[in-house]
């Protein structure tokens, strides 16, 4: 039973004096065969024995309040000397302090009601490590007096930080090296496949499909038929490993006989000639394969995991059924404490999920057919939970760079995939304080290729990325632990959950997924299509992840991996993934590695080695490239950029001013490179910028020459047919593998976002002649590392005077995290920079603002037509100014000289109506400005403009929401300034929102680059609404208002609230 209450962030107050350290056994091999008893030896002392208070049972319901009355136990644990996980009283306490006293750890706590409690940890629990603000679950603890508890060798369990759900596999594998497990959680890298992992994944899936099939007896050929149907799913992996479906079939052969024999014996089906099922190693017989990949989150024990197969069985000598796990292994069948520990954890999790005793589990080694029962014993169960507690410190505070100690001997470290990060952190962050001499010697040798500036660079980025990670977590509404700590009503009120759902239907979708449809009596307003959610039932959290597909007034459809057997009501909690941050941290591996890529990146980014100088000679270009350039009608700057890129040896920086035709330039450059036989990786920060380039390319090139990687749903519909999935739809099953191989290895132009590169299998085996990065000035440097690793030659395109990488952490931003690779190289090597200064977007009055404020008057109109473009010349807009207040006439004017207008709201004279309001959490709104914007928008539309011609922006997300709520036309785009980067509209209305009366700081408006973006989105009309007196307290905005020639003020007699 769980209790409500909020978990506080951990402090770091623990000392060596208050908690004893348990001596560690040296491991002799990676797959240890030691029992868990080695990890649970108890210290000497025993506390005073006290009388046990009986407890009764309760089931999980989020949240369940702490019970303070005696209970009667109805379900025993089934394991001698181990408490029931279902019927015991469980207390959820916050640690205030801990002190060692003789052989007892005294832990001062506070319960959910604020009452002080003391927990005396004795025996095996006396060396439990707890810190101030940790949370502990007490299970079946002895009551001491009225308020306190004792946990010792005779009774009770302590779970430290139960809200940190530690993966079962991590607990089991950490027996060999805790440090590797934690590093693997915080530094995720490696887009390569490997044979062993692929083989294991395939064999698991074949086994799971075969055991659910109706056919018996099953034969080898049946399994091969399953494999043939799975080939398309694994084609990319096969190509990456240079396997063919036939060669992989050869690798699968040794496993088939074992699978066939096991399934036919243990799951013969009732119609198989009356044959009885053979007993499992646990002596049970299978009644039903209840679930496959059973996803279990257990906040009682603080663990989570996926059970390969959950079997409903009939134990020996009883008629009652229960659940047992079957864990499949494709490796060697030697005695393994890791494998046993994993199954023991599953046994405990099945006990809490299905309200049963802690039963045995089963191991099956598919390579040699060896089966082993895993029988739970109290000592081993206690030991593995204590092992979990050790890891919980690091899972509970994922933003801390505090790590477990390194191993004491190094003979397995050389082949460890985390050795680079491990040894780098030992030297730079820990100064070898946790390392013995043997490990220090190994670590020193492993990082000897890194000079001090290289170590400092990596250490700095670890600190900055961690700070960014924390900033995002602080901004994110809700927390994953709220699912079991808070009631659904609370989560719904917060806007992160939809509850009270009842399942209406369950159907297989076209891509082998399952479509679930739920109904709800009230409208669903908190979710939108594409949201990733966690699906839970009333008594079982996290049945799995789902993606919202469709929302109606009283129903919602989601896509998930499998159907559900549980009964409603169901809950959908929006999942805010933080998985980007471990990947970004992991990208540093490209910089730290002792290889050619690492050497080049260190030379480029830290040593700032100059590139080879450019030798511009258009006569050296092939004729077909010259024809491409001529046909594209490029201006002088664009031609120079293409020629420079074609002849560059190392890298080139293309600085493209707003509206200067960067997309056109990139399109021509890619075509020119491909025409000379070069392969190109086209990367960008956003999907929108990437797809705009592809839209231009596909007009000139065959679609077979372009491959767009990434989620098809994130692509513009017009180019989604360039995705791998779309291309493969043209091939039948037999042609699938050959098509994948040809497309992945031979397509000359590959396009994806910078975020996607480290996740894409293709880049583990394919390099490119040239990499082009659009929006390079917006890309955080660690994000660009895997992109630059794909080629020794790259071209960065962007504008460092527009938006830079978004950095939320003030400390990281102040230290330089917002400096992009493009800005760094542009400042270090100005001779390698070419500029595009002619723009084709803004008319002259609008262009003048940005040119003067940011580009030293170098930004010019590309031609006379652009310079004089205005609403009047287009002929589709004619404002009806009858009955329109006179002060609005210049704003609605179609004339060129009125292209840029500032509307001064004079907020100090209009009371609260036009003052900013920052009372709402996390943002700035201005309701008066929002109504003004809505009114102007209506007038522009009545004058003849289309919804798509108008763009409305604000620096503040809350003001964007406020304006959307006021608009009568939902087709007019309202968005933040940042979202408009790279975009354009005929008319832009910019709501400043902020006034000097606000308590909120105005950093967003002080950012000159953001102001530049805002000023350069409009083609023919720019209307800025704000309080001039307030804005002139900001230097850049004071310059802007003085530069604008057309100023209008709201007259004193104008009444608010504004109505049309």
What does the pLDDT look like over 449-469, one tens digit per residue? 999 999 999 999 999 999 999
Q: For position 243, what pLDDT does the model report?
A: 95
| Mean residue pLDDT across the chain | 88
Q: What is the dihedral of CA 474, 476, 479, 480, to 10 degrees?
A: -130
Task: Please determine, for residue 1003, whether its predicted confidence score (pLDDT) is greater than 90.
Answer: no
- Which tokens go with 455? 């170590």
Residue 231 reports pLDDT greater than 50: yes
Q: What pLDDT is recorded for position 49?
A: 29
Class of domain 36-186: mainly beta
Mean per-residue pLDDT for 222-228?
95
The yes/no answer on whether domain 617-836 falls in CATH 3.40.50.300 is yes
The predicted-structure confidence for 77-131, as pLDDT tens digits, reads as follows 889 999 999 866 889 999 999 999 888 999 999 998 899 999 999 999 999 999 9
Mean pLDDT value of segment 396-411: 88
Are the beta carbons of 43 and 123 closer than 8 angstroms?
A: yes
Position 435 confidence tier, pLDDT thresholds 50, 70, 90: very high
Instruction: Judge contact between 759 and 711, C-beta under 8 A.
Output: no
Q: How many angstroms separate the first and last alpha carbons of the chain?
A: 58
Q: What letter would DSSP give residue 85?
A: T
- What's the rounded mean pLDDT across residues 322-351? 92
Question: Residues 607-632: what's their mean pLDDT?
Answer: 85
Q: How far is CA 1043 from CA 667, 802, 1040, in A?
A: 36, 19, 5
> Could you give the residue range(s) of every CATH 2.40.30.270 domain in the chain?
497-575
pLDDT tier at 1055 (50, 70, 90 boundaries)? Answer: low
Average pLDDT over residues 531-538: 90
pTM of the model: 0.87
Higher pLDDT, 521 or 495: 495
Q: What is the pLDDT of residue 30?
A: 46
Residue 68's pLDDT band (cuts 50, 70, 90): very low
> 993, 925 in Cβ contact below 8 A?
yes
Query: Could you tell me the two tokens for 307?
Result: 């059970």
639-653, 785-799, 883-897, 920-934: least confidently modelled range: 920-934
- Indicate the range of 19-23, 176-180, 857-861 predicted with least confidence: 19-23
According to the model, what pLDDT value does residue 70 have? 41
CATH architecture of 845-1049: 3-Layer(aba) Sandwich (3.40)
Across the range 8-17, mean pLDDT stands at 32
Q: Give the pLDDT of residue 845.
A: 96
How many Å apart are CA 27 and CA 410, to the nearest integer? 10
Contact 567, 551 (CB under 8 A): no
Buried b / exposed e along 940-953 (16+ C-beta atoms within 10 A): bbebbbeeebbbbb
Radius of gyration of the chain (CA): 32
Pick from 94-108, 510-524, 674-688: least confident: 510-524
Phi/psi for 902 (5° steps) reads -110, 120
Q: Is the pLDDT of residue 43 over 70?
A: no
Task: Give long-range contacts, CB 8 A cutoff, 24+ apart: 420-424.
Answer: 420/446, 420/447, 420/589, 420/592, 420/593, 420/594, 421/183, 421/187, 421/588, 421/589, 421/592, 422/179, 422/180, 422/183, 423/447, 424/450, 424/455, 424/458, 424/592
Instruction: Return phi, psi of residue 282, to 5°.
Output: -85, 5
Pinpoint the residues of the chain covered by CATH 2.40.50.140.
Answer: 36-186
Burial class (CB in 10 A: 0-12, 13-18, 19+), 63: buried
Per-residue pLDDT band for 918 (boundaries 50, 70, 90) equals confident
Least confident of 609-613, 656-660, 966-970: 966-970
Bigger pLDDT: 211 or 64?
211
For the segment(s) 497-575, the CATH number from 2.60.40.10, 3.40.50.300, 2.40.30.270, 3.90.226.10 is 2.40.30.270
Which percentage of the chain shows pLDDT scores above 70? 90
CA–CA dist 513, 501 (Å, integer)? 20
Instruction: Measure the CA–CA gap between 103 and 47, rounded to whole angstroms.
Output: 9
User: The domain 195-392: what is its CATH number?
Assistant: 3.90.320
What are the residues whose beta carbons fall under 8 Å from the beta carbon of 648, sequence distance 6 or more? 611, 612, 614, 793, 795, 832
What's residue 385's pLDDT?
Answer: 96
Residue of 366 and 1059 predicted with greater confidence: 366
SS3 call for 1034: coil
Residue 11 is predicted with a pLDDT of: 32
pLDDT of 8 over the 80 cut = no
Q: What is the pLDDT of residue 619?
A: 58
Residue 116 belongs to what H/E stretch? strand 116-121
- Residue 756: pLDDT band (50, 70, 90) is very high
Q: What is the mean pLDDT of residues 621-644?
A: 92
pLDDT at 18 over 70: no
User: Over 70: is that where the pLDDT of 691 sits?
Assistant: yes
Does the pLDDT at position 349 exceed 60?
Answer: yes
């Amino acid at each position: 039973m769980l209790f409500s209450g909020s978990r506080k962030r951990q402090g770091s107050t623990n000392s060596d004096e208050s908690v004893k350290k348990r001596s560690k056994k040296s491991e002799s091999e990676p797959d240890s065969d030691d029992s868990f008893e080695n990890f649970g030896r108890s210290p000497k002392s025993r506390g005073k024995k006290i009388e046990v208070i009986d407890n009764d049972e309760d089931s999980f319901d989020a949240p369940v309040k702490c019970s303070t009355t005696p209970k009667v136990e109805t379900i025993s644990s089934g394991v001698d000397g181990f408490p029931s996980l279902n019927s015991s009283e469980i207390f959820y306490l916050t640690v205030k302090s801990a002190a060692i006293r003789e052989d007892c750890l005294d832990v001062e706590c506070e319960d959910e009601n604020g009452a002080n409690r003391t927990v005396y940890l004795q025996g095996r629990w006396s060396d439990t490590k707890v810190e101030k603000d940790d949370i502990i679950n007490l299970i079946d603890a002895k009551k001491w007096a009225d308020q306190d508890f004792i946990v010792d060798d005779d009774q009770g369990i302590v779970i430290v930080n139960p809200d940190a759900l530690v993966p079962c596999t991590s607990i089991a594998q950490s027996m060999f090296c805790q440090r590797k497990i934690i590093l693997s959680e915080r530094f995720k890298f490696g887009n390569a496949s490997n044979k062993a992992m692929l083989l294991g994944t395939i064999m698991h899936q074949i086994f799971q499909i075969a055991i659910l099939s109706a056919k018996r007896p099953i034969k080898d050929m049946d399994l091969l038929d399953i494999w043939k149907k799975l080939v398309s799913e694994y084609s990319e992996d096969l190509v990456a490993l240079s396997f063919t479906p036939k060669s992989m079939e050869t690798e699968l052969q040794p496993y088939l006989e074992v699978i066939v024999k096991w399934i036919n014996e243990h799951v013969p089906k009732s119609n198989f000639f009356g044959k009885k099922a053979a007993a499992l190693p646990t002596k049970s017989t299978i009644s039903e394969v209840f679930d496959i990949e059973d996803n279990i989150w257990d906040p009682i024990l603080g663990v989570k995991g996926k059970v390969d197969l959950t079997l409903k069985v009939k134990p020996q000598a009883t008629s009652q059924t229960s659940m047992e796990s079957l864990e499949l292994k494709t490796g060697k069948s030697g005695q393994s404490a890791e494998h046993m520990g994993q199954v023991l954890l599953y046994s405990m999790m099945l006990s809490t999920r299905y309200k049963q005793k802690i039963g045995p589990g089963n191991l099956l080694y598919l390579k040699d057919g060896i089966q082993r029962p895993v029988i739970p014993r109290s000592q081993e169960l206690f030991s593995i939970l204590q092992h979990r507690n050790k890891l919980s410190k690091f899972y509970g505070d994922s933003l801390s760079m505090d790590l477990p100690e390194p191993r004491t001997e190094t003979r397995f470290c050389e082949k460890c995939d985390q050795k680079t990060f491990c040894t780098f952190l030992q030297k730079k962050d820990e100064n070898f304080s946790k390392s013995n001499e043997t490990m220090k010697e190994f670590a020193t040798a492993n990082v000897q290729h890194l000079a001090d500036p290289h170590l400092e660079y990596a250490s700095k980025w670890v600190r900055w990325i961690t700070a960014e990670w924390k900033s995002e977590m602080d901004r994110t509404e809700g927390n994953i632990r709220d699912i079991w700590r808070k009631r659904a009503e609370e989560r719904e009120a917060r806007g992160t959950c939809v509850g009270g759902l009842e399942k209406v239907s369950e159907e297989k979708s076209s891509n082998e997924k399952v479509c679930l449809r739920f109904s709800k009596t009230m409208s669903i307003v908190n979710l939108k299509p594409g949201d990733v959610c966690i699906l839970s039932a009333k008594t079982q959290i996290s049945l799995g992840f789902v993606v919202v597909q469709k929302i109606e007034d009283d129903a919602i459809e989601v896509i998930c991996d499998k159907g559900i057997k549980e009964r409603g009501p169901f809950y959908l909690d929006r999942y805010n993934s933080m998985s980007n941050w471990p990947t970004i941290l992991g990208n540093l591996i490209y910089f730290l590695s002792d290889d050619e890529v690492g050497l080049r990146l260190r030379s480029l980014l830290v040593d700032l080695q100059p590139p080879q100088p450019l030798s511009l000679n258009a006569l050296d270009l092939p004729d077909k490239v010259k024809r491409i350039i001529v046909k594209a009608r490029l201006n002088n700057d664009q031609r120079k950029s293409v020629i420079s890129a074609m002849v560059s040896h190392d890298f080139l920086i293309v600085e493209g001013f707003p509206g200067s035709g960067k997309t056109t330039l990139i399109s021509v450059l890619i075509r020119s490179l491909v025409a000379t036989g070069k392969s190109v990786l086209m990367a960008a920060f956003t999907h929108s910028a990437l797809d705009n380039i592809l839209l231009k390319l596909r007009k000139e090139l065959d679609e077979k020459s372009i491959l767009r990687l990434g989620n098809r749903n994130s692509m513009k519909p017009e180019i989604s047919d360039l995705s791998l999935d779309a291309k493969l739809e043209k091939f039948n099953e037999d042609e699938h593998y050959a098509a994948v191989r040809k497309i992945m290895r031979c397509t000359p132009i590959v396009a994806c976002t910078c975020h996607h590169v480290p996740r894409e299998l293709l880049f583990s085996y394919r390099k490119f002649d040239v990499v082009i990065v659009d929006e390079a000035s917006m890309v955080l440097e660690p994000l660009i590392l895997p992109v630059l690793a794909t080629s020794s030659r790259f071209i960065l395109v962007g504008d460092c005077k527009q938006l830079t990488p978004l950095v939320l952490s003030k400390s990281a931003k102040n230290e330089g995290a917002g400096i992009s690779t493009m800005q760094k190289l542009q400042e270090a090597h100005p001779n390698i920079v070419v500029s595009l200064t002619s723009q084709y977007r803004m008319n002259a009055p609008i262009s003048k603002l940005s040119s003067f404020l940011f580009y030293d008057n170098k930004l010019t109109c590309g031609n006379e037509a652009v310079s004089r473009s205005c609403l009047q010349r287009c002929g589709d807009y004619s404002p009806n100014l009858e009955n329109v207040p006179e002060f609005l006439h210049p704003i609605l004017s179609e004339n060129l000289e009125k292209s840029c207008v500032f509307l001064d709201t004079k907020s100090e004279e209009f009371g609260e109506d036009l003052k900013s309001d920052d009372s709402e959490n996390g943002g700035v709104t201005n309701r008066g400005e929002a109504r003004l914007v809505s009114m102007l928008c209506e007038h522009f539309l009545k004058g003849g403009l289309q919804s798509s011609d108008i763009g409305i922006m604000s620096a503040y997300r809350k003001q964007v929401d406020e304006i959307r709520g006021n608009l009568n036309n939902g087709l007019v785009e309202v968005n933040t300034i940042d979202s408009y980067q790279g975009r354009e509209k005929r008319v832009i209305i910019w709501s400043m929102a902020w006034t000097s009366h606000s308590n909120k700081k105005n950093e967003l408006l002080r950012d000159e680059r953001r102001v530049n973006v805002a000023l350069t989105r409009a083609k023919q009309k720019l209307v800025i609404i704000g309080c001039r007196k307030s804005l002139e307290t900001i230097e850049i905005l004071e310059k802007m208002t003085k530069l604008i020639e057309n100023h209008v003020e709201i007259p004193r007699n104008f009444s608010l609230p504004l109505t049309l």
